[in-house]
Chain A
Amino acid sequence: MRGMLDWLDNRTGYRALLQGVLYERIPGGARWRYIWGSTLVFAMVVQLITGVVLWSAYSANAQGAWESVWFIQNQMTGGWLLRGIHHYMAQVTIVLLVLHLMQVLIDGAYRAPREVNFWFGLILLQLVLGLSLTGYLLPWDQKGYWATKVATSIASMTPVVGPGLQQLLVGGSEYGHLTLTRFFVLHAGILPAAVALLIVGHIYLFRRHGVTTPKSAREKPDGYFWPEQVLKDGVASLIVMATVLGLVLWSGGAHLGAPADPAEPYAAARPEWYFLFLFQWLKYFPAGWEVIGAQVIPGLVLALVAAMPIIGGWKYGHRFNVGVATALLAGIVMLTWQARVQDSADPEFVAAQAEAEVLAERSSELAAALSGIPVEGGLAMLRADPLTQGPRIFEANCSQCHRFEGHDGLGGQPADPPSASDLAGFGTRAWLAGLLDPERVATDEYFGGTEHVNGRMSRFVQRGVARFSPEVRSDLAKVIMAVSAEGSLPAQVEQDAVQQTEIEEGRALISGEEINCTRCHTFRDQTEGDVGPVLTGWGSRDWMLGMLHDPTEERFYGEDNDRMPSFGAEKILTEDEMGLVVDWLRGDWVRQDSQGH
């Protein structure tokens, strides 16, 4: 063994190298205050390990990015932990960098001959911020997409070269596949390589100059990097890792929003918290001053920080530097705090955040329920989901008159009171029972706001049904079952199958003497006068689509139609949109426990 190691040393000289690395002399001995650089190296190594493995499952294209991150997060064994560590370590790295920088400034460790190393550190800080910025887009979710749009917009404001710069970053005029391939090569290739090179340079220069020792260390005996300082660094790294793991477990892992959609607003668009101060900063620059706020002032501040080693050599220069750095940090903290306070006090932002969360969860649930994301991608999947799209279409097109559980579909309250029925549960037995309830038929829930409030149906319920004997009432319950069964509502089919006998009885009673729906409605082949909407297939998908298409058709309201637009015939809505709103009203959407419809 000994012989082999000797041979290796003879051929490589590894012992001298190891000696140099491990037995660096530390004047005054190992100290806790020297841990910061090592914890940062540790953080970078963690990012390298987790990043490379994330890379092994990540696909950088607009139809694979969200999809593959969803897979990593929800399907891959340990994927959520891997991504969680990568995500939170990135944030902890920023904190460590700021602490490291502040310590260097306060200790005056930037002064001659350490100027170049200070500049290396400043470049490293910017590279790490670049890694954060590029990494934020890679999941291609709404949050990353819209936040990064702001970042590339700011790049486009650069005088002269801005538009070209933006095109090069984005890989074209619009966000797409090439935006991801380009951000990915920055995030996983160019920036990490630059960071690695600079860290080597940073450590080399640090070793060349040695640590900056505090006064108190000067009486103490010297120590060595190995093992005293390594132990301290190791413990510090362990604390950093424990913090990150704590954050991962506390948060349940890194967040993944709904797939990026250029056509859907994301009112909760915010950058990662450590960029919030810049975001807030931009609010204070009126029209025409964007470049000053977004580029010139940050550039000047950075130049000032870069000049600190020079300034530090002047009389009072060090005090000036520490003062400026403290003021900057205080300003950043204040702007961040302001951004947070303003957002949490803004009900629209809070609502947007809640909505974004619902969409994120639904996207993930859909992908799981479909046992994988359709090849068209996560966005197409979400756009074809009635539970997501139905309420939006309802709010935009139906809620001027109708309500859904008393609201506009999205939980809001339109200015005008309802003037048509509440469509929540349309087609169910409960909905029909309400319509046939003398107390309720003329309320806002049903015909209250419509012309039908004084129509024949309303009169029949208020005068006829009100006087039904208990026996006829129990017959009516069967009629309700029969008519409701026409809809084959997903939530009711099982119950309908069980109560087939009652439903059969109900069908016979539809044209019975007392109840006699077919005096005005058509049911199957029975009709006396075709006045009201047809009851055959009432509440079914086809029936509802037909009603939406053109309520003035003879089989629906005909001439008695009250204001209901012909959404299909007048092409107000597309076939797809009508299908989505109908499926939503019918409660017909993909659920986690079922596979497809």
Chain B
Amino acid sequence: MDVQFFIDVFPEILEGLTLTVSLFLWTLLFSTFLGLVLALMRLSPIPPLRWVSAVYGWLLRGIPLLLLLFYVFFALPEFGDFFILSPFRSAVLGLTLWTASYQSEAIRSGIISVDKGQHEASEALGMSRTHQMRKIILPQSVRIIAPPFTGNAINALKQTSLATVITVSEMTGITRGIISSTFQTVEPLFALALVYLALTTVLVFAQSGLERVFRLKT
């Protein structure tokens, strides 16, 4: 292994870091919102809302993310000019749709794990369903939601690497470019791996930090 090349290649790969991180943050933001909506729909008293959410989850969890990205990037534009998105936006859309299906399960299981007595007590106090959910149920469920939620978020970070396949040149894409132009594979791959490992390790620490914040004080 050529150590000098290994060091030289870092700055070039890090140029893609901004793109990787912004893919991740946008995905995290949108998928959290969509995941919450889907979870509440799944728990709604209105059957059609429940069905839509269940079918969504079944569809999105049943196909590979890569296929979904191809669909967004190649098939969606056929439905009209409105759907012609930049590679970056296509990637955020695909990653969001996919991650939301997992986040909705994490959020739903957190909500249903809140003790039934809490529902009944807030009802007895004359709270409306939305009021209950916002003030009583969700704050308590956050504790249970946090671990799978951050797990999904870490997966989303790793999956931003797939955006390279629809021509977004984030870190993985840049690394592929270096490999094909220099024919050196080991050094750029190790450099890339180190950056990802650093990112995911930071997130794992954030995860245990979060869990500590939400732990019940006894």
Partners in one complex: no
Q: Name A residues whose Cβ lies closer than 8 Å to a Cβ of B.
A: none
